[in-house]
Structures are given as structure tokens and as C-alpha cells.
Chains A and B, each alone.
Chain A
Amino acid sequence: MATRRQFIRISAMGAGAVMAGAAGLRLLASELTDGQKATMAALTGRTPTYCEVCFWKCAGWVYKDERGSIQKIIGNNEDLNCNGRLCPRGTGGVGMYHDEDRLRKPLIRTDDRGTQSFREATWEEAFDYIAEKIKVISAEHGPECVALFTHGSGGKYFSTLLRALGSPHVAAPSYAQCRGPREVAFQATFGEALESPEPLDIRDTRCLVLIGSHLGENMHNGQVQEMSDAIDKGATIITVDPRFSTAAGKSKYWLPIKPATDLALLLAWINVIITEELYDRPYVEKYTYGFEYLKEHVKNMTPEWAYGITTIDPTVIRETAREMANASPAVIVHPGRHVTWYGDDTQRLRAVAILNALLGSWGRRGGFFRTETFELPEPPHPAYPTPKRSWRTEFPDLYKMADTVLANGVCDATVPDPTRACEFQAWIVNGTNLMETLPNQENTLKAIQALQLLVVVDTMPMEITGWADVVLPECTYLERYDDLRVGPHRKPQIALRAPAAEPLYDTKPAFYMARELAKRLGVIEYFPFETMEEQLDWQLKQVGSSLEEMKKIGVKTIDRPYDDLYFYPDEDVEFYTGTGKIELYSLAMEEAGYDPLPKYTRHEEPPEGYYRLNYGRAPMHTFSRTANNPNLTDLMEENSVWVNPRVAKEWGLSTGQYVHLMNQDGKRSEFPIKVRVTERIRWDSVYMVHGFGHQEKKLRRSYGKGASDTNLITRVLVDPIMGGTGMRGNFVTFITDLAGEEVVS
């Protein structure tokens, strides 16, 4: 790669370059603007980090200008997650540091929850307050009634704290609000979940099938990079999406499917591949179980049958199936990531897994590779106490296949219910804006109002902070050490996050917070090291490295012990399923009382005058987290609602006009949203990017800009298999009369 060559040349030039650069600087000085002069000065002296803006955790280098202010963040060339190139959010991470709206001091609530009345407190006050409450709750109800919601590096420390206290309730919304159904489906089929980043060999694939995945608008850095590589190599992309996504624009086939009918298409594909005998026969015979059942099951699910449901031409269904099979085994039916759509998502992902299995892509080049990770020694601590209760006891017959704590489960189990033995009493929320994350905001608020203690740890005054009892201001990832990133990838890597600057204002890292709480709660022995620096150095020395070395290189690659990225020909692979094989027919699901093979079920369609609310991502934002970031709002400061021209004509809407949206339950959007009339969206749906419509006034840049889709997701289609909250079952209509309302601009 060109950048690698350039990079090596520079590091080889070393001191000479600095001197030559300085001389050149003087010559150039009259030509340079102030900004460029600062950049030249900053070419030396960089700090390694890995990004915290989204979950991808790309490793990079932080550069500061001559005044010591953080100037820019560049990718680490050795990092397999990003290959030296950060995505726009990562590049814009500097904005997270510079955002003037950041939380600055610990806050303690002074009035009723939700009135936003806080007083500034010292860290000691805040910790004492929290510790006292937790002690009381533990004594009265048990430590299991304290739950943690987390999305980010800080979760590790609060999780240690909770487990040390005896609570197993660590919930990541990224499970049941996002990838949960996929993990369960792939676990049931292949015996292992997909994790992050997904082990997709996109750069070597010959056919990439995106079903509801909008790579390029969702910025899964490594995957977008590899998709570009695949395009270079002439790979075929097949996109299935009711919307003309960016990926659809690069696809050989775009299937403009009717929303909520994807499962029918998948089953029809399976039908074609089995009927026309296009599947990888030796692979299927050697590695799979239940082929005959599957064959029988899809017997009548022909493309003609699917045509009636999906509106996709049967010829196209056959052609695309053949295209996939032709590329086999270098084909990927992308499992997507946010797959909580209609409530039958686990079954839909089962169909995706089955299809991949038939095509023989699992464990093969251009399909799914085998990840390798690395074990880092944990700091020595006593064994965790066994919790006496878990959330499962509150939902005995539901979500049997969920294998982690459900965020919505915890939320539901917080809302007082006389039939229940106990409720959650305290929440610690770190790095996730629950108001925008969990659908059905009303339910979330009910739960919050019932809590005895709500602690929110965040860098920004997100909506959830307004409801807290105690707000603990976290410093950004650029101002702290954190656990080493040890992620599974083609080769195991360790990445270091070191602080590039001192924490601004009175902010602190989550490690410090958890540790201080542990002190007061009598579980300090679970935090043997006083600082992360000490812990990191200890850990690294255990594996033959050191903090010193990692600071210089940022990322350390460890060789795979075996050359087993893909299956060897004829390898006797054992899968972690009941049968030891890839279960096309899932015995585990059958045992738990669910359908062992996916069945298509019809989902509700929008009533007259309503349109299905589809939401997605923009590549310059992530979650609702970046909506206030100055660098990223510069790129996109509000979302718009995409409306098909036929619909726009009917309603008299034009691009740039502001409208309110109202859903089927009468819930109106809090703020109006700009219309974009475009052919890219189907006439039965509208589309908007998630993460806008902030209601928190302290977010000065993003308050009132655009509308929040979460606001309008009141109808939640819960997946009975693992509790995933399907969010695409809401329909909206337009309210064009703003009644003199002023639009925030």
C-alpha cells in the first residue's frame, strides 16, 4: 500500500528530516497559513490511542500543535482494524475533546428527577453519595438489584465493580437493541457468535450480499475499506434494500425489496440453491446436519412464491442465487449488525447463516475467516462472589436463547410490577444515551422514575444525564489510559490507549471512578493496581512487552500460532453445537421450543396515509453520540426525512420544508424535520438517520436539530427467542402545519 511505503520512508528519515523540515519551514513560512505551520510543528511527538467514538476501536496516533492542544488523529498503519486510515468519526474525534458543551464537574440532583436541577459537587461527595445508596440497596434488596448499562471502555471497570459486589447484571444495549439476534442465530448454527469486528473476508470475496446492511453509510471502517478492495478486484455486490443505499449504488444487483419481507427472499434463495444443486456439496455433506429437513422445508418456497411477497422478480431471484453460488466459497451473505427489526429477527439471521453454510463460505477464503485472539493476564483478584439471583428468574419462559443480559430486560424489570419478586433499584449508565438507545421512551422513563439511584457516567450532557441522581463527568478517550484493546482479527493484536492530554476541566477516567467506589464499598481488592499505567505495564511485561514499547509502536501484532485462517482442505472441524456440526436444522432451538427452521411470517403493513419508518446511519455520525461534535456537525448538523416524489406530490411536500412526523400511536416528533424529496426511497417508507433531535438544551449545538426516530418508536416488536427489540414496526404520517413553530437553526 502506498501509505505504508510513505510511512516507512518518513520514519527512516528520522532526525535528518526534522532538520531539513525546519529549514524548509523557514522557506515555506511565508507561503503557509497559520494552520499549516501548526501542522508542520506537530510532526514529531505523537501519542498512541484507539478510538472510542464507535465500537470498532481503530488504533491511531494523536498529534498536538505547538501549544499542546490536540490537533489531529491519524490511523496506525499497523492496525488491522483500520490499516492506517480512520473513518470520519475517528478523524473528528478531536471534536469530542474540544466540545465546549462537555460535562465539567460532578453533579448531584437537588430536586425531582427530570427537573434538571443539579448542584456541582466534589468527587468525594459524589462517590460518598453513590456508595451510601448502593450499600442501602444491597442490604435491603441484594447487590443483584444494581445494574450497569454500558457501551464503551469504561464498562470494564464498572463491570468489575458490580461483579465484585455480586451482581451479574451488566447489560450492553448493543445486544438486544442491535446485534443480539445475529449472535444467537449464528451461535445456534455454527456454534459461535460473530462478535466485533465481524470475521468477514470481504477483501477476498467474489460476491458480497448485503441484506439490509448499508455499508458505506454505516461506517464499519475495516469493512468499508475491504469492500473497496473487493470492488477493485471486480467482486459482485448484491444489495437487498427498500432504499437505494450507497452500497446499492455500487451493486451489480439492487433488489428494491418490499420492507419486512426479507425472510421470504432468503428462503427462496435457499430453495433455488438446493433445487438447482448449486450448494457446496462436499462442504454440506461433511460439515452440516439437517440438510434433508431443510430441503423438505423450503420445497415450496419458490421464487414465484417469494415474488408475491417481496415484489422481486423471480428471474432476478434466480439470477442472484446463481451469482452467489458461482462465487462460492468466496461469497458472503453479510449478517448485518443492527438486525433488531420486526421481532422474528433471530429466524431471519438463521436463514442468513443457513444460506452461508450452503454456500460453504464459513471458514473459507472470501467468506468468513477464523479469528484469533490473544489472552492477556487479568490483574490478580479474588474470585467473584456467586450472584444469588439473575434477571432470568424474572422472565423464566422468555428469551431462552439470550446468553447475555438484556438492556431492555433490565429496563422492563425496573418498572414496578406487583407480580414480580423484586425490581432493579439502581442503574449505572456509562457511555450510552439510554433515552435514544432503548425504544419506547415512555417505558424507559417509567423505569427511571422507579429507581432509587441513577448514576450516569458520560463525557457529554446527553439526555440520560438529565434524569440522573449523580452525573459523573468522564474524560474523553484522548485524556486517559484504558485496558489494552485485544480484539479478534486475522492476526491477534494488542493496542494501547495512552492519554494525549491531561483531563480537561474536572473530569476523570472511569477506572478512577470505579476504583474509588470500590474503596468505599469494600471491594478494593478487585482493583489491585492504583493506576491504569501500573496495570498496563504489569500486563505487558507478563507477555514480553512493556508500556514503554507500546507507547512507541501503539499496536503490537502477534503471530497466529497456527496457519489456520481458513479451514484446511478436508479438515475435521468440530463446531460448538450439540451435534458438533453446522446445524442447518437447529436442535438447540427445537429444544427451547422455537422453530428449528425459519418460517416466513407476514408483518403488519402501514395503514393508508402512513409510511414505514426506516432509519439508518450516516458515515459522519454514530449513535446520538456525535451530534454535538463540532467537526462532525460541520459535515451534517441535522437529519432529514426522505420522501418519495410520488408521496411528496400527494402531500405537497418540497425539499427543505419542515414537517412533524406522527406515528400510529399518535406520538408526535418533538421537533420538526426537514424533508428531502428523493427517488432513493420507496413510496411506502420514509427514511431518516438516527441520532438527531436532541432534547437536551445543554447540547447547544445539536439541541432541536432534526428529529429523533427513537421518539417515534413506541411500538416494539420483541423477539421471543432472545428478547431483541424490533424497531421497524412503526409507521408515520406527516403533519405539515407547524402552527407558527420556530424551527431551531
Chain B
Amino acid sequence: MNEELIISGRENLMVDPQLHIWHWPIPLYLFLGGLAAGVLFFAALYYLMGKENEYRSAVRRVPFIAPIALVIGLAALFYDLRHKAFFWQLYTTIRLESPMSWGAWTLLVITTASFIWCALHIREFFPNWDWKYNWLKELETFFNKYKKHLAWVMLIFAIITGVYTGILLSAFNARPLWNTSVLGPLFLASGLSAGAATIVLASKNREERLLFTKIDLVILGVELFLIVHMFMGFLASTQVQIEAAGLFLGGEYTMVFWIFVVMLGIIIPGILDLMELRGRHIPAVIPGILVLFGSLMFRFVFVFAGQVSRWLY
């Protein structure tokens, strides 16, 4: 028999008996951040491809979700901080080795960009909008002139926003479940698919909906591939990784992952999307909601399960 135990009564809050330092605010932010990233990516992409009138929802309307999502996400992050009064320290330095530092600055940029982008398209919702003050009107003119530059900035920073959270988690070698380089692309894919799903949900244009359904389907396929790839990687890796994978292959997170994340969040909406593309009319709400739900659950499951995975006793 082998016993390995702490005999000095260690009971550090949120660390013992199992690490649980990150609760619901973190996966919530990850979801909202990924969603915003996806939405802004497509907005910028199709603007730069000159399709802003063909795909009005994608480029002009759906982006309004982004600042809301980002603000709520940032609020959740702020709420999670234990030393809130010093949050501004994040912006006194940039630490290239810390993905979280990247994230802090990236969020600053993308949130600002998303607000500006929405400001530029405010007349989609309020046709008679008047900025009133001169300096605001001048800003509008300025940004309209450099809209292409803004779009490029948004495009790049959307990708960074989508991928950095995965990189952040994958940089934790202490948590074997996260320590895989697949996680970055996987988070990005998940975020993009959430964005695409939102566009399908919100769009009133059938062509737009079909396009983004196609895009969504492809991205879901990529996601599925990455997930399978990730597990293959775990099982071919070291003991701690095999144990970490075990959490989803018979362990406590098996059901919730394969049913909520994979089945409901990827496979079923994928099938529904396929059927839609083959002509069977599916109410767009269903795959859309499922994809968003799957994206959210994916982050919850991964953040919680990752804290369970460990090297030690």
C-alpha cells in the first residue's frame, strides 16, 4: 500500500484539498471574450473583403454584442480579483512572458476598438443619431477615414483575444490538462464558432445565414478534430497527462464533457448545420443556441477540470 499525505493539517483556502482558485467568473469571461473575438473577427474580415453591404449583420449589427460581452467579461474578471484596489498595476507594465499581461493590453485595445466600431455603425440602430459635440463628430470623421486601419487592428487583436486565453491556460505546466499547445487554436476555433453562430442567429439575410452556417460547420469540424487530436496527444504523453485525460475518459468530467460540450455543442449543431445546407429547413435558433451553450460549457469544464489535474498527491 502506498500513502502520501500531508500530516501538518494544511487546508489553504481554494488550494486544498484540490485547487479551486478560479470559479465561474473566469470561464464566463473566457466565453464572452471568445464570443466577442469571433464576432469582431468576422466583422473586420468581411469589411476588409468589401462585403459590408452584403453581410450587413456580420459587419454592422452583430458587433454590438461585442462591447457588451467584453464589458461583462471584464467585470467578471475584475470581480474575481482578490486585490481589486491594485488592478491598475496591470497597466503599469507589459510582461512578454505572461499571457495574462498580453491579455490585459489586448483587451484594452479590442474593447476600445469594438466601442469605436459600434460607434461608427450606431445608425444601424438609431438612424437619426447625432453626436452633438464637435469633438465627437471630428472623431467620427477621423475613424471613418481610417476605417480600414481600424478593421485591421480589430482583425489582428480579435485573433489574439481568441487565442491568448488558450495560450494562457496552456502555459500552466503545473496543470497537465491545460498543458497542451492545442488549447490555443481550440479556444480560437470555439470563439470563432460562437461568433459565427451569433451571426446566424441575428442575421435576417438568408444568404448571410447560409454563409455563416457553412463557416460554422467548418469551424465545428476543426474543433472536433482539435479535440480528438488533443486527447490523442494526452494519451501518448506522460503519466500526468494520461491521468489528466482520464478525467474525461471515465473520470468525473466524462459525462459533462462528451454530452454537453461535444455532443450538444459540436456534433448535433454540426449535423443540423449540414441538414440546413442540404436544404432541410432547421430553425436557426437551435444550432445557434447549442453552439453557444457548447462554447460556454467547454470553458467551464476545462477551467474546473484543469484545476483538478495535477502532478502531486
Contact = CB atoms under 8 A, between A and B. Distances in A.
Interface of A: 620, 633-637, 645, 677-679
A677 B1 CA distance: 10
A636 B9 contact: yes
A383 B1 CA distance: 65
B15 to A, nearest CB: 15
Interface string B1-38: 10100011100000000000000000000000000000
B3 A678 contact: yes
A635 B1 contact: no
A33 to B, nearest CB: 12
A671 to B, nearest CB: 18
Interface in B43-96: none
B9 A645 contact: no
A645 B1 contact: yes
A674 to B, nearest CB: 12
A635 B9 contact: yes
Nearest to B11: A634
A473 B257 CA distance: 60
15 contacts: A620-B8, A633-B9, A634-B9, A635-B8, A635-B9, A636-B7, A636-B8, A636-B9, A637-B9, A645-B1, A677-B1, A678-B1, A678-B3, A679-B1, A679-B3
Nearest to A655: B3
Contacts of B7: 636
A655 to B, nearest CB: 8
B47 to A, nearest CB: 48
A620 B9 CA distance: 11
Given A637-B9, A678-B1, 11 more contacts: A620-B8, A633-B9, A635-B8, A635-B9, A636-B7, A636-B8, A636-B9, A645-B1, A677-B1, A678-B3, A679-B1
A645 B1 CA distance: 9
A630 to B, nearest CB: 12
Which 10 residue pairs are nearest across A and B when measured between Cβ atoms?
A635-B9, A679-B1, A635-B8, A636-B9, A645-B1, A634-B9, A678-B3, A637-B9, A678-B1, A620-B8
Contacts of B9: 633-637
A677 B8 CA distance: 18
Nearest to A645: B1
Contacts of B3: 678-679
Contacts of A677: 1
Contacts of A633: 9
A645 B3 CA distance: 12
A620 B10 CA distance: 13
Per DSSP, chain B at the interface is loop
A635 B8 CA distance: 5
Contacts of A620: 8
Nearest to B9: A635
Contacts of A634: 9
A677 B3 CA distance: 9
Contacts of A636: 7-9
A679 B8 CA distance: 20
A667 to B, nearest CB: 29
B96 to A, nearest CB: 23
A637 to B, nearest CB: 6
Contacts of A637: 9
A679 B7 CA distance: 16
A733 to B, nearest CB: 23
A634 B9 CA distance: 6
Interface in B138-180: none
Contacts of A635: 8-9
Contacts of A645: 1
Nearest to A644: B1
A617 to B, nearest CB: 14
A637 B9 CA distance: 8
A635 B9 CA distance: 4
Contacts of A678: 1, 3
Nearest to B3: A678
A634 B11 CA distance: 8
Contacts of B8: 620, 635-636
B83 to A, nearest CB: 12
B8 to A, nearest CB: 5
A679 B3 CA distance: 9
A633 B8 CA distance: 10
Nearest to B8: A635
A178 B133 CA distance: 90
A645 B7 CA distance: 19
A678 B1 CA distance: 8
Contacts of A679: 1, 3
A678 B9 CA distance: 18
B18 to A, nearest CB: 14
A611 to B, nearest CB: 18
A250 to B, nearest CB: 16
A55 B75 CA distance: 57
Nearest to B7: A636
Interface string B231-274: 00000000000000000000000000000000000000000000
Contacts of B1: 645, 677-679
Nearest to A632: B9
A177 B1 CA distance: 36
A679 B1 CA distance: 7
A449 B9 CA distance: 39
A678 B3 CA distance: 8
Nearest to A635: B9
A634 to B, nearest CB: 6
B173 to A, nearest CB: 27
Nearest to A620: B8
Nearest to B2: A679
A634 B3 CA distance: 21
B71 to A, nearest CB: 33
A736 to B, nearest CB: 21
A42 B136 CA distance: 59
B75 to A, nearest CB: 29
A677 B2 CA distance: 11
A644 to B, nearest CB: 10
Nearest to A633: B9
B290 to A, nearest CB: 40
A335 to B, nearest CB: 28
A26 B3 CA distance: 47
A634 B8 CA distance: 8
Nearest to A88: B8
A635 B6 CA distance: 10
Nearest to A680: B3
A504 to B, nearest CB: 26
B231 to A, nearest CB: 31
B4 to A, nearest CB: 12
A635 B11 CA distance: 9
A636 B10 CA distance: 9
A679 B9 CA distance: 21
A734 to B, nearest CB: 19
Interface in B210-244: none
Nearest to A637: B9
A636 B9 CA distance: 5
B245 to A, nearest CB: 26
A650 to B, nearest CB: 15
A603 B306 CA distance: 55
A123 B8 CA distance: 40
A645 B2 CA distance: 11
Nearest to A618: B7
A637 B1 CA distance: 25
A97 to B, nearest CB: 20
A93 B8 CA distance: 17
A82 B3 CA distance: 32
B309 to A, nearest CB: 21
A636 B5 CA distance: 13
A195 to B, nearest CB: 32
A187 B55 CA distance: 102
Nearest to A679: B1
Nearest to A634: B9
A405 B59 CA distance: 95
A687 to B, nearest CB: 14
A637 B10 CA distance: 11
